[in-house]
Each structure stands twice: as structure tokens, then as C-alpha cells.
Structure 1
Amino acid sequence: MIDWQSAADAAKAATEPGSLDVPAAEREAYARDVREARDAIRTVSGAEFDVPDTIEIQNRHHWIDANIATFERVMGTLESQVQTGTFPGVARTVNTGTMTVLLAFLGRNVLGQYDPLLLAETPADDHALYFVRPNILNAAEKLDVDADRFRRWIAFHEVTHAAEFGAAPWLSDHLETRMEDGIAALSDGSFNRASFRELDAAMTVVEGYAELLMDHAFDDEYADLRRKLDERRQGRGPLQQLFRRLLGLGLKERQYKRGKNFFEDVVSARDLETASLVWEGPAYLPTHDELDEPELWLRRVDR
């Protein structure tokens, strides 16, 4: 369906890689931010978890190379089942062009990424942590914020995701199953609404809980950072706004806000320990209705 190598090569040809001339002191600063984020989040959440052994400081081309394998792995379920159409060459060219645009756009915009490596074939390579240095520096400059402080804030956010997957060993399998079921249905020409709703609800919890831990663990004021990022997203041009909608980034932002509101309500009514019940098992995840009415979830799971 997709010529993956051509998509990666074309995306990199259309994207300035950015410098990776990283001074030793800055490399240590990245490592220190991750260590301190891990320690602070362990203290706040009470969760025992590890961060990846290798923290990758990437340029944009490195990020594209790292993620092309993820896209290929996730799409493999669909690719193995879809029948070739009447004009397979044309379809493959269009699909490859679409993937090229997606990779190039994301490669220029992603700041940091905790990757649980869903559907990975090698269990030992179960997670990774990336920082796209040129994008972090570029965003800090455009937002007119201190680059070191901004980098630290990004580190805390990504490490919260490591905490979530560490606290809930079942989470990867839960997401993978819903993803595979949804893609398999698409390959049969149908839409598995239940799988995608459950996947959306789970990712809303993942993003919302990360925001909750950020609020409790980050050791500096961050409201200005969040406000400026929101203003930057809203101030994008029409073409960029279109790309964001096509790539589902508007959905991700909705997950942030909806999940954050859910957990704020839970903590206000109970406490952080009660909010952490979501990681007890899949049955403890809120449904779509419960995300909008946290009191329903509290009545169901609060002990």
C-alpha cells in the first residue's frame, strides 16, 4: 500500500534536519531533566516506573526515521488484509505521497515523544524517549520563553507518560487490541465504532492524567508556557490548521482538555490517589459518558 522508504526519503528531502551540534553541558541537561522528572513524578504519583535506558536527542530526520518504523508496524495489520485495487500503482503512489506529507509536517512540529512502541516485535525494546532538539529551540524562540525551562517542561510531560505505562503494564496490550480491531474492521470495509471509542477514551485518560501529574510534579510556574502554546496553535494559518485536522491533532488537543477536566474534577472531589485508580485495570478506565460526568465514574470505582 505504501512505499515506506520512498515516503521517508521524500519527507526528509522536504524537511530541513536542523542542527545536532549539542554541547556536552546541554546533553547532560537533557539527562538531568529526565532524571529529576522521574524522581518528582515517582514522589507525586507513588508509581514505580523506569525511563528508557537511552534518551535520544534527535534532529527532524532522526525523528522521521524512528517513526517510519512505527507507522509501518501499525499499518501492517491493514496492509496485510486490504486487497489490491484496479490501479494498484496509482493507489500506492497516492498513499505514499500522503504519508510523505504527514511525516514531513510532524517532523517539523513534534517537540518530544514517549513511544511505548506499540506492536513492537522485540519485547526488550518496549519503550523509547525522543527529544527533537531543533523543534524545541524553534518553539522556545517563537514563544519567547527560556529554552532551558521549556525543554525541562517538555521532559516532565513525556516522563509522565512513562509513569503511566509503568503503573499499568496492561495498558499497551489494551491499546494494541483496540487499534488492531479497528484497523481490521476498516480493512473489511466496516467501521468498528466501539473499538475506536474505547481507544479514544483510553488516550483521553493517558493525556489527561499526564496533565494532572504535570500540575503536581513540575517545580516551576508553567501557566505561561501552556497559554503561549495554546495561542500558537490557534494562530496557525489556514493550511496548517487543515493539516492539523487531517492528522487528527485537533482530536489530540481535545483529549488533553477533556482528560484534564475529568481528573481535576476527580481530585477536587476526592484526591490524587483516587484518580490513580484508572491504572488498576481496563475495567477502571472511564467510559465516554463518565469522562464528561466524573461523578458516575466515582460511584462505580471509588472504594
Structure 2
Amino acid sequence: MFRNESAAPRPQLVNWDVAASTAASLTPAGPTMKPAEIARAVQNMRELADVSVGHVHSISRLDAARDLRDSELLIVDRASWAKANSQSFRTLMEPALDQLATTRPEVLKSASLTLGGNLTGAQLGAILAFLSSKVLGQYDPFVPSRNGQGGRLMLVAPNIISVERELNVDPSDFRLWVCLHEQTHRVQFAAAPWLKDHMTGHIGELTSGLMDKADSLSERLGTAVKNITTARSRALRDSPAADGVPAQDIGVLSILQDPDDKARLSHLTAVMSLLEGHANVVMDGVDGSIVPSVKTIRRRFNARGKSRGPLEKVIRQLMGLDAKMRQYSDGAKFVRRVVSQTGMDGFNAVWQSAEHLPTEREIHAADEWIDRMSLRRHG
């Protein structure tokens, strides 16, 4: 799409170039390795990523795993991951910002003057920099790959290597274990080609709802900052929680939601819980014949969270990382319950259409979803 070069540039709520450059400058360095070591590790991860697809197919029983040529696999460093995610955020948010510029230009102008696109871009960049050292892998369905309209799977090599060293586990076993989870996401979107547009639409509606209330954004962000400051000061004193501020009310998203926003977010939360939970079930569906040290990996990986300091814990809470971990757990419980009652083929009805997606309530009450789908129970 060509832009009118004579038109005055509209104010930006987010300066995406600043976001990308800030993330790149703040991203911490990865583990020290010689070039030959890096090359061997990258090749090993690429090979194990390919091997993992067959295991995903046998566990998930999704025939989409047979052909993933429409998406691509990338082995990336931390800065590249951060840059890619600034691009993904832009892809998701720009339609809502364009709509706001057309329908309520005065709001966009006011909000941009209050918040400043450069400041917002820098804040987003700082968040991506923090996350860049935490994420092991990610499937991004929203930015097309170079191979076609499918997305791209990124394995963040420095983080995988750092964690396998921290846990003192077999590198090849750990890398295959991680690949099983991430490749499952790739297979999910291949099995449900409608899912990308479905999620994009709901994310767009949520973003539009938030942006449409941009004229009161400054006041609500002020409340968020106050809560964050309270939580951070309590965390530095090693207190388990902020006085008078429930954990679920600290995050910025909670400040931005009206009832419609909450309904949109509830749906997206259910979908993300399903995707993450299913990937975890596939990841844990392997045994020692596939990943010989899998029991040791699971035990040591699950124990990592207990060693985090108080400041990192509150940062993770504010950024929603703890909520994401609950998605893994809640979604996995849903998947295991459905599979135990209907078999994997029964569960796979979830990929047939958007109407088959579980609600957030059903994620916590799998039998209600089974009844709604009229699936036969075992026993």
C-alpha cells in the first residue's frame, strides 16, 4: 500500500523505530562462545527442530505436522528476537491506530502530545529488551514468513544455551524438549488456518477499544504507575505483595479494561491458555526413549522460578509473565482432562472452527466444553 507523500505525517502513539533501537541497545549479551561453538549449536538446534516435528505428529495426531513449508524456522539472537517482536506489535497495532487517526484524529493528537511516541517506543523497547533474555522460543503467526503467508518460528539460541547450562542438563535433550513445545505452536496454526485471522481480529478489536479511549489514557496510566511504584517498593523490601494492591490489579492491562475490553481479553486468554497448554502436553508427552533425561529436565526447569529475586518477581508480575505461566498450567489441565475423557482425536475437534474454541470458563471446567461439543466420554 502506497502512502501519500504530500500528506502531513500523523502523530505516532508508538515510535516503532525507537522501540526497535531501544530494545537492541538494552538487550543483554548472551553467553560467551567461540564462533565455531555457535555454528555447531545453531546447526544442532536446526536439526533437532526438524526431528521434533515427527514426534509432535505422533503425539498430537495432527496431520498438519506433515507439511510446514508455508512457515519458516529461524535461529536468532536476543536482539533479533526483540526487533522481530517490535515488527509484530506494529503489524497488530497499526490498523487500530490508522482507524483512530481517521475517526478521531483529535484524540490521537491529544494522546500523542501527552504520552509522546518516542517515550512510548522507548518503554516498549525496554520491555522487549527484558523479555529478550527470558524467551526460549516463539512462534509468530502474525508476520508472514519469507516462504508464504505462514508465520515464523524463532528459537532464541543464547537463551536456550544459558538455561541448559544453568540447569546442567544434556544440551541435545534440552533443545529437543524446547523444540517440541515451539513446533507444536507451528503445527497448531497449520492445523487451524483460520486461527491467525481469528486472533488478529480479536486483538484488533481489543486494541481499537483501548485506543478509542486514548483521551483518558493518561489518567488511567497514572493510576497504574502508582500501583507499580507501590508494588516495586514493597518488593525491594522483600515483601510478598503490595499493601492494598491485589496482584491481579497491579498490571497495566487491568487499568485499561472496561467491560467490553474484559470480554475481549477473556476470549484471548482462553485461546492462549489452550495453545500453551496443548504445547505443554505435547512437550511432556515424550518419554525417555525420545528425550532420555526428560525427567531431570522437567524437575530442574520447574524449580527455576523459586530462585528469582523479589525485584524480578514483581517485574514478571507487572509484565504478565506469571499470568502466562498460569496459562501453561490451566491450559494443560484442560487438554489432559479432555484427552482423558474423549481421546486425542476427540480433543482435536477444537481445531475445526472458532466456535469450537473453549471459553475462559471452560478452560477451568473442561467437562462443560466436552458437553457443548457433544463428545463421547470414555468409560
Q: TM-score scaled by structure 1?
A: 0.90
Tell me if structure 1 keeps the 8 A contact 2:136–2:178. yes
Which SS does the other structure have where 2:138 is aligned? strand
- Structure 2 distance, partners of 1:88, 1:257, is 41
Q: CA RMSD in A?
A: 2.4
Q: Structure 1 residues 183, 233: closer, same or farther in 2, change over 3 A? A: same
Partner residue in 1 for 2:133: 108
Q: Residue 9 of structure 1: which of 6, 21, 24 is its match? A: 21
Counterpart of 1:38, as a letter, is V
Instruction: Trace 1:1-303 onto structure 2 (pairs within 5 A).
Output: 1-18=13-30, 21=35, 23=37, 24-49=39-64, 50-51=67-68, 54-80=72-98, 81=100, 83-85=108-110, 88=113, 90-117=115-142, 124-189=148-213, 190=258, 191-217=260-286, 219-220=290-291, 221-301=293-373, 302=375
Q: Report if the CA contact (8 A) 2:270-2:360 is conserved.
A: yes
Contact 2:141 2:150 in 1 (8 A): yes
- AA aligned to 1:208 is G
Specify the structure having the higher radius of gyration (Cα): 2
- Tell me which amino acid in the other structure corresponds to 1:21: P
Please, which runs of 5 or more residues in structure 1 have no aligned partner?
A: none
Q: Does the 8 A contact of 1:286 with 1:297 survive in 2?
A: yes
Report the Cα distance in structure 2 between the residues aligned to 1:285 and 1:20, rounded to whole angstroms.
Answer: 46
For 2:295 and 2:338, locate their aligned partners in 1 and report how far apart those are by CA, in whole Å: 21
Distance in 2 (alpha carbons) for counterparts of 1:169 and 1:87 = 36
3-state SS of the aligned residue for 1:84? helix
Identity of aligned residues (%): 30
1:216 aligned partner, one-letter code: G
Partners of 1:38 and 1:98 lie apart in 2 by: 37
Q: Hey, what's the Cα distance between the residues in 2 that align with 1:55 and 1:208? A: 22
Q: Tell me: CA distance 1:33–1:75, structure 2 relative to 1, closer, same or farther (3 Å).
A: same
Report the CA distance between 1:47 and its aligned residue. Answer: 1.7
**Greater mean alpha carbon deviation, residues 262-271 or residues 214-223:** 214-223
With over 3 angstroms needed to count, the CA separation of the structure-2 counterparts of 1:31 and 1:293, relative to structure 1, is same
CA distance in 1: counterparts of 2:93 and 2:364, whole angstroms: 31
Q: Is the CA contact 1:208–1:260 (under 8 Å) kept in the aligned structure 2?
A: yes
Q: What is the DSSP-based 3-state SS (H/G/I as helix, E as strand, rest coil) of the residue aligned with 1:83?
A: helix
CA separation of 1:154 and 1:22: change in aligned 2, threshold 3 A? farther
Moved over 4 A (4+): 22-25, 120-123
Using a 3 Å threshold, how does the CA distance of structure 1 residues 167 and 228 change in structure 2: closer, same or farther?
Answer: same
CA distance in 1, matches of 2:165, 2:372: 46
Task: Give SS of 1:271's match.
Answer: helix
**Displacement after TM superposition at 1:69 (Å):** 0.6
Give the TM-score taking structure 2 as reference length: 0.73
Distance 2:117 2:174 in 1: 40
Measured after TM superposition, the shift of residue 172 of structure 1 is 0.8
CA distance in 1: counterparts of 2:352 and 2:130, whole angstroms: 36
Unmatched runs of 5 consecutive residues or more in structure 2: 1-12, 101-106, 214-257
What whole-Å deviation, never above 9, does each CA across 1:14-70 have from its counterpart, x for those lacking one? 223436835554343222212211112122323223335642221111112222211
| Residue 58 to residue 270, structure 1, CA distance change in 2 (3 Å) | same
